[in-house]
Amino acid sequence: MIRLIGYFFGIGAFLVLGVAAAAAIYLGHVTKDLPDYEVLNSYAPPVTTRVHAGNGALMAEYARERRLYLPIQAIPDRVKAAFISAEDKNFYQHPGVDITGLGRAIFVNLQNFGSGRRPVGASTITQQVAKNFLLSADQTIDRKVKEAILSFRIEQAYSKDRILELYLNEIFFGLNSYGIAGAALTYFDKSVTELTIAETAYLAALPKGPSNYHPFRREKAALERRDWVIDRMVENGYVTKSDGEDAKKQPLGVTVRRGGSHLFASDYFAEEVRRQIIQRYGDNALYEGGLSVRTSLDPQLQVEARKVLQNALVSYDERRGFHGALKTIEIGGDWGEPLGKLEALSDVPEWKLAVVLSVDGNGADIGIQPAKDGGGKVGADRVTGHITAKNMQWAYRSSTGDRKSAKSPEGVVGPGDVVYVEATTEAGEFRLRQPPKVQGGLVAMDPHTGRVLAMAGGFSYGQSEFNRATQAMRQPGSSFKPFVYAAALDNGYTPASVILDAPFELVTGGQVWRPENYGGGSAGPSTLRLGIEKSRNLMTVRLANDMGMNLVAEYAERFGIYDKMLPVLAMSLGSGETTVLRMVSAYAVLANGGKQIKPSMIDRIQDRYGKTIFRHEERTCDNCNATDWEDQEEPVLTDNREQVLDPMTAYQITSMMEGVISRGTAAGKIKLDRPVAGKTGTTNDEKDAWFVGYTPDLVAGLYLGFDSPAPLGRGATGGGLAAPVFNDFMQAAMQGTRPSKFVVPEGMSLIPVNRKTGMAAAEGDPDTIIEAFKPGTGPAETFSVIGGADQYIPPEEILKASPQANDAINRGSSGLF
């Protein structure tokens, strides 16, 4: 018997040793290529890049995985408790693997064997960290063994809080959100500290299977799972029973946060910032780097820029007539379903899509597009309204030529037509609207720093993502002329120099170029000031010809209007192509006294660790951060920027463009209670209408035109179309600010002259104007005309200037050349 027992014991011992050997060999094989868990020390997950406006408001977020990394100290205890209750209630007790939980899972799975039910898991939070960070998601025995071994090692190397921190920042919650902070923002638009018990429990329910507990498609399952988590929180003592019951009575309350731009009217600006970051640092830095970007955007000015440009585009477009319905749908059944599936302009919330239900001589009855829930399902509400005949009268005229002008609403729309409408002040009444075909761009900038404060790239980003403020290459027309005149003033001419305004022709290669003034005609000899104020093409060409186009090209490139300007005379009239941003930047140099400007929409960029990697401000101030006042000298801001234009020249051209506002092509269009300078621009055939102008503290510029350049119509000039938009914007921008004056540089002489002849004004002369002269210059003592070389100037042309010119001729001092 003893021998038999010994025999069996020997066999048993052999089997145990065999199993142990096999297990050792297996474990050796499994652990041979085990990942290094020390990589967790350098964990740097993809993190959301956040873009902020100048006042700190969140403007946009960009991420492949919406994640904001939070240290464990910043995560509330309630949030940690919810996830521990849902995933691993013994987290703080087990060594990496929960043996009790594992045994329970095995028992349950054996009971359910063959039932078709999904196997119950027993992975601890530590095991999930090992799987998510170091292993694949393969459902194999090898992977589970590796997971367990790594879990034991991770527990020995890291604290429980560090493991939980890694877990809460890595897990996927659905809707492209990763980590608890990103999930809180995505699902509830809240920070983790603001989450309620119910919200926290729902988020803790998601890691088990986000698609299984979708807040809209599987709301019932989501509520059941959330309530189960709440019960576990109560059971584990993290929440009182009464609080738990109250939490279970609450709805899910999910409000899905959209990606992209978050700040109203900032879409074009945000997209331009996005492109610049990619150009500077690459895609990965933007979508994974967790950058913190502070932009120069002024949200209030941005709203005004959008408003004035949209109003101008809509006003012009409606004057040209109705383009017709967007499309036609069936209205025999539930019109809300097909209407709800159409995409409206997301960034024009004032306008709603509507379908015409019936129409008669008094107007049209309409159905308003129903809202969609977070899952994209069309809501059940059906709202109707009415467009009165008066509120669609502008549409009686057709812009397409497909029909004659209508005489009543019945000739404009019919049942089933889908159109845009905007609510009026009268309840239930709407006005017919249409997205304009004409477009434009507007930029506002601080002239002292180059910070872009506002940018409107078109009517609607939802309609077209093409940014006409930065991407559209357009001819600036006469708005380029100030830089021709600035080059002249910087090289010996004065505002009182006289140029011949008379027909001009240039013969090259057998072709004849004959520029004309807008509206035709000519005024004879006139001063540079009059040439700017009245925007005389012939004078500008003669001036450029006298200086030489190489000099004009040099100044245009110095101001950043063109990278390489072709030095031909036609370019002096703004026939080259540039952008609104470049033109506004160039005018900013005139406004700030000639200092170089580097336009920027980004003030500062910080990496995920808070280190500043870019700063736009290059000026320095050594003593600006003094902690105490000890009778020291006031700090001085050191400006090392290049002086690209003589400050005296900058003031002279500014003074001349003040005349554009008061007496010239923009007269009566700009009504500000402070000094303002600017210039209109109208291209050939009125294809583009420009205005760029500035006060001492703000520059703004814009153009209006079709994307495929086409005539805007006779009389559609920079003064008639663009200047009023500039005025509306500046009126809003300057509201509540203190007026300031353009600073006259020290050493300049202010002398009264006759604004037609440029000569010293006689006492009582009604055409007297105060002109600014640099040291060593002044009004001409003789009447001299620039641009008349080799050409006979008829006396009647000279007499057009003024009687004083005639007196000069009679004195034998005409000096014509």
Give me 472's structure tokens.
């559209």
Map residue 283 onto helix, strand or coil: helix
DSSP of 150-216: HHHHHHHHS-HHHHHHHHHHH-EEETTEEHHHHHHHHHHS--GGG--HHHHHHHHHGGG-GGGG-TT
CA-based nearest residue to 734, from 760, 692, 695: 695
CB atoms within 10 A of CB 208: 13
DSSP 719: I
Which member of 61, 87, 165, 199 is catalytic?
87
Quote the CA–CA distance of 562 and 553 in Å, as a whole number.
9
Quote the CA–CA distance of 127 and 143 in Å, as a whole number.
11
Quote the CA–CA distance of 588 and 559 in Å, as a whole number.
9
Residues 6+ apart with CB under 8 A from 717: 518, 665, 680, 682, 686, 689
Residues 6+ apart with CB under 8 A from 282: none
Helices (H), 686-785: 723-734
CA-based nearest residue to 690, from 709, 674, 676, 703: 703
Residue linked to tokens 């234009």? 645
CA atoms within 13 A on the CB side of 215: 21
Residues 6+ apart with CB under 8 A from 233: 81, 82, 85, 197, 201, 239, 244
Residue linked to tokens 């408001």? 57
Give me 716's structure tokens.
């559609």
Which member of 151, 261, 266, 478 is catalytic?
478
Give me 267's structure tokens.
């879409």
Give me 540's structure tokens.
């500008």
DSSP of 758-800: -BBPPTT-TTEEEEEE-TT--SBSS---BT-TTS---HHHHHT
| Region of residue 758 (phi > 0: left; psi between -120 and 50: alpha; otherwise: beta) | left
DSSP 413: -
Contact predicate 699/301, CB 8 Å: no
Q: State which H helix or E strand residue 125 sits in.
A: helix 125-134
Q: Counting beta carbons within 10 angstroms of the beta carbon of residue 292, is it exposed (0 to 12), middle (13 to 18) or buried (19 or more)?
A: middle
Q: Counting beta carbons within 10 angstroms of the beta carbon of residue 519, is it exposed (0 to 12), middle (13 to 18) or buried (19 or more)?
A: exposed
Residue 87 annotated as catalytic: yes
Q: Counting beta carbons within 10 angstroms of the beta carbon of residue 239, is it exposed (0 to 12), middle (13 to 18) or buried (19 or more)?
A: buried
Q: Counting beta carbons within 10 angstroms of the beta carbon of residue 633, is it exposed (0 to 12), middle (13 to 18) or buried (19 or more)?
A: exposed
Strands 429-433 and 383-388: parallel
Residues 6+ apart with CB under 8 A from 746: none
Write phi, then psi, for 57 (nearest 5 degrees): -65, 140
CA-based nearest residue to 316, from 599, 615, 710: 710
Quote the CA–CA distance of 30 and 135 in Å, as a whole number.
12
Cα dihedral 474, 477, 479, 483 sign: positive
Quote the CA–CA distance of 652 and 594 in Å, as a whole number.
11
Residue 170 annotated as catalytic: no
Rg for the chain (alpha carbons), in Å?
37
CA-based nearest residue to 201, from 160, 176, 229: 229
Q: Which residue type sits at 789?
A: A
Q: Active-site positions?
A: 87, 478
